[in-house]
Structure 1
Amino acid sequence: MSRAERIEEIRARRARRAEWLDGAHGWVTDTLGRLRELDALRTEMLALVPDEAQDRLLALGAELGDLLEELPTEAAVTEAAASRFRRATLNVGVIGRARQGKSRMIRSLTGLSDREVPTGDGGFCTGVTSVLRHEDGVPTRAQVFLHTERSFLHEVIAPYYAELGLGPAPTTLTEFARPLPPAPEGDGAVEGSRYGHLAAFHAALPEYRHYLTTNSPYPIGPERVREFVAQSDERDEQRHHAFRAVRHVRITTHFAQQDWTGLSLIDLPGLGDTNLQDAQRIVGALRDEIDVVVFVRRPDPLGDGLDTYDHQLYDHVREGLTGAELARCSFLVVNRVSGPAGDNSANARKMVDEWLPASRFQVAGAHIVDCTRPDEVAAMTDAVLDHLVAHLDELDEQHLAERAEKLAELRERTARLAARAGRLADLAQPSEIWFLPFNGLFEQTYEQMANALAALVRSLREDRDLTDGLLADAVEEILDAAQNDPGHPTVAQLVARADAEGGLSVAYGKYLNESRARLSRRFLECDVALHARTARMQDEVAGVLRGPGSLGGLAGLGGAEGREFLLRTAERIPRVRQEGGSEIRYALELLAGFTLSYRGMLQHRVRTCLDGLHADSPTMPFPHDRSPSGQEVLEMLEVAYDEALFACRGELHKVLAEPSAAVFSLVEEFHDRVISAAGTKEEWRVFYQDVRAEIWPGRFAALAEDAAHLRRWSEAVRQLGTRTAAGTEGGAAAGKETAA
C-alpha cells in the first residue's frame, strides 16, 4: 500500500470519528439549550414557590451554573476536534526560532521561492502562519484569511493590555487609534519590548486598518504572498504591515520533489522575541490544526546547546498539544550548514548524540539535514510521514478518548441534576396542599419503623446470652491450626541454635518468646469474625430504615448498605434543635462508628494465658542444677505451649457470647436514642418532611398539576432527563467503538 493510499485510509477512519464527534457536539448544544430553558424557569419560579422550594432552587442554581459554564467550552472543543478529523490532509507543523532555517527547509521541499516562503537574515521575517498544501498539477495560488475588527481587538490587542496592566482593552478601532496608555513604570526589558510591539501595532494601524473590513478569504497571486506574511522585505528595505491584520495564509501548490498527496505543511512564525501573538499562534495552530511537529534548529559552529529559548519553545508546543504525548508526535531537524560563517557539522552531531538526550526536549526522532538541499529534506519528510502514518491512529484515539470521558462526565452530572430537579415539583407547592397527605404517610411510616426496631431489639435480647456463631467458628479454627502447626523446632535445630547462641537455656528462652509471639499473632484473625458481626448488625439496622422506614429511596445513597447507608443517612439529617445536636444524627453516627475488635474484647484475656511462654517466667523453668538434653528442652517447650493453648481455649470459650451482648446493648441504645428519647419523633417528622419527594416519589406531584409553572418545570425536566438518558445509552459505547 502506497503512502497516499495509507493516508486516504486514515482519512476514512477520521471521517467516522468526526461523525461521532458531530453527534457528541449535537448532544452538548442541545443539552445546553435545555439547561438554559430550565435555568430561566428556575429564576421565574423563585418568586412563586414556598421558602423550602426556594432553598432547593437556589442550590440547584449552583449546579446549573457550573454546567452552563462548562458546556459552551465543551461544545467548542468538540467542534474543533470534529473539524480536525474532517480535514482533507495530514498536517506537519514546522516550528523554529527566527533564523534557524525552517523557511529554507520548506522551500526545499515545496519548490517555492522566497516570494511565497520569505526568509530573512536580519530580523523576524515570518509574521503569520502559512498553510501550504500539495495538490497535483495545479499552479500556485493563495488565500489570505483576515481578522475582523472584533477578532483583531480581542485576540491580538487585548492580551497586551491584560499582560501589561493597561486597563480595559479597546472595543473599537476608533478607540485603539487614540493615544495609548503610558507604558508601565519600573517594568523589565520583556515588558518594555511587549509595549513596543503594542506601540508598533498602534502606529501602523493606518497601514493595515482597511484589511480588517475586507472579506475573507482574500485571493492573491503568489507574487503578493510576501506582502501579507512577512514583516519586512530586505530586497527593497521595505517594512510590511499587512501581516498585522492576517490570521493565516493558505497556499496551494504542487510540491516539487514527489507525490505528497494528502500532506500540508504549516509554517509558523519564528519564536524568539517577546511578541505575544507569535506564541499564541503557535499554541492555537497546534491545538486545532497540527498532527505532527517538526522543530528546526541550526547549531552555532562556535558552540551551542539546547538552551532556555529552546525549552520555552518546547513548552509552548506542549501547551498546545493538550492530551497528546509530544515525544511521540514531534521531530527535531538539526540544520547543517557550511559557508563563510563556518561549518557546524560537529555541533550538529553533538546536538543529536549528546545535547538532545541530556535535555528534557523529548522527540520521536532527530535528523541532521542541510535545509538547502531538497533531496535531504525530502528524505527527512519521508521518515516523518512514515512515522505519522504508523502512529496517527493511536494519537487520534487519545484525543477521542478524552472527549468521550468528558462527555460521559457531563452526561452523568446532567442526569443527577435532572433527578434532583424532578423532585422539586413535589416540594414547590403551598403547605396547605401537601401537609395533610404527608402527615398521614409519616405517621404510618414512623409506626412501621418503630415497631421494626423494637422487634429487632427483642430478637437481640433473646440472643444476648448465646454463643456468637461467627466468633466460635473463628476461635475453633484458630485453636485447631495452633494445635496442628505449633511451629516447634526439631531437636537438631534446637541444639544447633544453642551451640550458636550460648547454650540450651538461651535457646529455650528465645523459643518460648517466639512461640508466644506466634500464638498471639494467630488470635488477631478473630478480628475478621468480629468485624463481620458488627457489619451484620449494621446491615440489620439499615434494613429497618431502608424498608419499614422507607428511606431506601434517599437521593445520593445509591447502592449504599450497612455502615455506609447509616453514615449517608446521618448526613441528610437537618439541624432542628436550637440547642444541642440532633439525637438521630448522633445515634446513626454512633452505630456506624461502632466496631467489635479483638483488641477491645479478647486481647487482654489471651495475653494473660500466654504468661507461661515468657522466658523470664516460663511454665516449665529451665533446670539450672543439671544439664538437660536437647530432647528434654524440646518437651519442656511443648508442654509450656500446650498449657498456654489450653488456657486460651478455656478463657475464650467463656466469652463467646460477649459479641451478642455487646450488639444487643448498642442496638437497644440506638432504639432509645431515636425512638424513646424526648422530641425524637418530631425530629423524624422534620427529616421526613425535608425528603418527602425522594422517599415517596410521585405521591405529591399530582397535587401540583394545577400550577402552570410547575407543569412547565416538570415538562422541561422530563425532556432534559429523556435527552440525557438517550445520550447515555449510546454515547459512551459509540465513543469506545469508534476509538477502537
Structure 2
Amino acid sequence: PPPSLPLDKKNSEFDKARYGHLRKDYYSNISKYRHLLTSPSMEIAEQDIPLYVTQDSVDQSGNKIVNYLAVKEVEISCSFPHEDIGQISLLDLPGLGDTNLIEAERLIKILSEEADFILFVRRPEANAVWGEAYLKLYQIARDALGDFPLAKCSFMILNRTKHGAEGGDNGYRCQKLQSELKETPIRVAQSIIADCSNSQEAFTQVLEPILDYLAANVQSIEKEYGRSYQKQLDVLYQNISIELDKASGALARYGDGDLLFEQLFAQFWRKLTNDLENLLAELKENRDNLDREFAQQVENAIQRCRTNTGIPSTCEEIAQRRHFFGSYNTAYNEFLHEIRTTFLGHFLYLDQAMQLSLENRKNLVVKILKSHLGELIDSEEIDFLSIIYNLLPDNCQSSQIGFQKLEQFDVSHAGRVIRLLRVNIDQLKPDTNTSALLFPEKQFTQKITAELNIEEQILETLQKLHQEAADKSETALNRILCEPSTDAYFMIEEFVDRVLRAKDVQLEWRIFLRKECYQVWPEFKQIEQRVQQQLIWRTLVERASYVNSLLIR
C-alpha cells in the first residue's frame, strides 16, 4: 500500500483531496498506463484524442480508459471557424479545483509566459462552493502574473448545464456561485454564465464579450503588461548585474603573473632560509668534531709513510752509493733528499682530501638550491654554483659574491698540510741535519769491516730520523682533523650571510627569480593558458553584460 498522508497535511482539504485522487487514480491504475510513461512523443489521429485526454472514456468492455494519467502535454492544431477574428491559441490547463493538477505551479508558469487572457471555467456541481482548492489555485495563478492584476485579464465562466445533461440543470448553482464570487479573494474582469456545450452560445456569450473587452481595454492592458514586465525586467537586470559583477571579478587575478610570483616567492624564501639555516646549525654543531673521511685519509697516509720510507733496505745499497759519490757524507745527504721527498709524497694529496670534504659540504648547499629552483639548472655538480653566478643579473652583487666565493673556496692550493709537515721534518734536510758530521771520510787503506760499521750507523740514523719525522707529523696532523669541519662551517656561514642576510639581498633574489620564473616554477608555464582563459571569460562576461543592458533599453 502507498504511504499515508503526512500528519502536517491531514488538516488541509486540498492536500486530502489531492492525496485521495493520487491514491485512487494514479496508484491503483499504474499497471494500466505504466507502459506509456517511457514512450516518446507520439502523433495520434483526431478520433483518438479522447482516448488520451478525457477522463470518462471507456473501452468496449466498459472499463475506464486511464491513458490521460500518463499524458504530460497535448498540442492540437485546427482551423478557427471565425476567420475575421484572426489567430487564437487556446491553452487548456487543468481547471480550478481539479485534483489532477499535480504540477500546478509548473503549469501556471507556462500560463504566465504564453497566455494573454485567462478563462476560468467551472461547471458548478451539487452543493458547489468556492472551497480551499479553488482559492489556492487562484492564488497560484495570481502569483504567477507577478504585479500584473489578474482581474484585468481574466473572466470567470460558469458552465451551465440543462435538463438531460449529467447533473441536470445547474442554473441556480451557477447564479449562486456568481453572487458569492465577490465574497472571495477571486477577482476577474467579468463573470459569465453560459452553456459552453452550445457553440453559438459559447460564441455570443463568451468569445464575443471577451473580444469586446479586449478591444476596449487593449491599450490599458498592454500598458499594464508593459509596466509589469518592465518591473520584472528591472529586477532581473539588477540580479543579473550582481552576478555579472561577481563573474567579472571571479578570474580577475587568475592570470596575474605578479600575484602568482609573490605567492611562489614567499614560499621559496621561507623554505630556502629555513633549509640553509638548518644546514648551518648542523655544521656549527659539528665544527669542532673531526672529519671522519679526512681522518681516514690521514691515517692511510701515515700508514703508507711508515711502510714505504724510501730508506735503503741494506748496507750494501749505502756502500754502493758511497762508491758512486766517493763520499759517505754526500751519499748520506742524497739519502736524506730521497727520504724527505718520498715522505712528503705520501701526504701531497691530503690537501685535495681536505678540499674534497669541503666539496661535499658545498654539495649540500647545491642540493638545497636545486630543490627550490625547479628546472632552472639540470646540473647537480659543483658547477651549479658557477652557473647560478653567471645567471645572476649584474645588479645582484651580494648574491654574486656569495656564489662566487663559495664556488672558488679551495684549501688545496694553499698547501696547508705540506706546510705543516715541512715544519716537522727539518732533520730530513742536509743543511739542518748535523748527523753528517758523524761520518768523517776514512782512509782507503782501512779495513772493510770499519766501512761496514759506518754504513750500519748511516742506516740506523736514517731510520731514526724518519721515525721521528713520522711521529711529529702524525701528532701535527691529528691536531687538524677537525679543520675540514671548521672550514666548512665558516665557508657556509659566509655564503648564507651573502645570499640571505646582506642588505637588499632579498630584492636581488626577486629580480633574479622574476627573470627565471618560467624555469623555476611550473605554475608559470600555465600562466599563458590562464591569460587566454581569462580573456575568453572577460569576453563572455562583456557579451552577457551587453545582452543584459538590452533589458532596460
Shorter-chain TM-score tier: 0.3 to 0.5
Structure of larger gyration radius: 2
Task: Choose between structure 1 and 2: higher strand proportion.
Answer: 1
